[in-house]
Amino acid sequence: MDFKVAGTRKGITALQMDIKIGGLTREILQQAMEQARKGRLFLLDKMDAVLDGTSHRSARPMRLALKP
């Protein structure tokens, strides 16, 4: 099973699952969702630690022009 979850501290914003088994039990799904929640919160904590609460946005947004 390939299972990907993206989101914020408030909840899930995207979910992808590829199943290669005959069925998916409620217990397997609950375990996968709990692992994904713990992993998402762990990564968000690491990101917050690096950003240290400061804003890294530029006062002047970058412009990008693409020529076809």
Sequence-distant (6+) residues with CB within 8 A of 24 are 1
pLDDT tens track for 8-36:
999 999 999 888 878 888 898 899 899 99
Element (H, E) at 28: helix 26-51
Percent of the chain with pLDDT over 70: 88
pTM: 0.66
pLDDT over threshold 80, residue 42? yes
> Long-range contact list for 61-64, CB < 8 A, 24+ apart?
none
pLDDT number for residue 57? 65
Q: In this predicted structure, what is the pLDDT of residue 24?
A: 82
DSSP 7: E
